[in-house]
Every structure is written in structure tokens, then in C-alpha cells.
Structure 1
Amino acid sequence: MRDTDRRIRIRRAGLISEDARVRHFDELDEDAQDAVRELAGRPQTGQEPTDLDDGDVVKFTDYYQIRAR
């Protein structure tokens, strides 16, 4: 996990911009996979893993966009 207090929310992506970094679930490290499994499609936040950044898109059961604050 990062040494910051940033939190992430993961929500289903609508349109994906051409310059978005799209990652496949199996390419993520274990912390990021756990976060995606736990947060995808749920209205809650979690600690930001080091392998994901604000704006990233993850292909999991659907496409999900990462939002960090």
C-alpha cells in the first residue's frame, strides 16, 4: 500500500478515453487485485494500492475506472 492517506473508489466505466491506461485484472499485483475484488461496483472506498492510479481502467468482470482522493 502507498504511504499516503489516499482512498480509491472503483466504478463501472462508461466511455473510456483513448489515452486511458487500461489494465487487465491478472496483470495487477495482489494488493490491487484484492482492492478491485472488494470495491468493484460497491459504493465504498478503500486504501489506494501502489499498482493503481487515479484514472486507470481495470478490465475485471466489466471495465472499472479508478478514482483516488
Structure 2
Amino acid sequence: MRLRRTGTVSADARVRHYDELDEETQVVVRELAGRPRTAPETDDLDDGDVVKFTDYYQVRAR
């Protein structure tokens, strides 16, 4: 999966707050936020989800 910073969040998007995620997923979000890298998918996030971390990031599955 990848994270892509997004300035807009659609009304139907599932928004997950960083502190709601399990510890393993938090580590992945910290590593991917703002970096053009990929990581294995997690059970906690699905394609199209938005994570509120330091900014809003949209999840993209490979």
C-alpha cells in the first residue's frame, strides 16, 4: 500500500484517525507519510480509506 497526501476528503470516505489504528498500522503510517514508498497492506486499512495523521492521507492498495 501507499499513502498519498490529499487536500480534499469526499463525504463518503471512511476517515480513520491515527490514534484509532493498531500499533502495527501506526508504524506503517509513520513510515509512509510524505514518502514515495510502499509497504505491505494492513488489515486495519482498506483502499480508499483516509488517515488523519499530520495531514490527510489517502490509502492506495497496490
Do they fold alike, i.e. is TM over 0.5?
yes
The percentage of aligned residue pairs carrying the same residue is 73
The CA RMSD measured in Å over matched residues stands at: 0.7
What is aligned with 2:27?
Answer: 34
* TM-score normalised by the chain length of structure 2: 0.94
| Larger proportion of strand | 1
Larger radius of gyration: 1
Displaced runs of 4 or more, over 6 A: none
Aligned partner (choices 13, 37, 42) of residue 49 of structure 1 = 42
Amino acid at match of 1:17: S
Gaps of 5+ in 1: 1-7
Gaps of 5+ in 2: none
Q: How many equivalent residue pairs?
A: 62
Work out the CA distance in 2 between the residues paired with 1:38 and 1:18.
Answer: 27
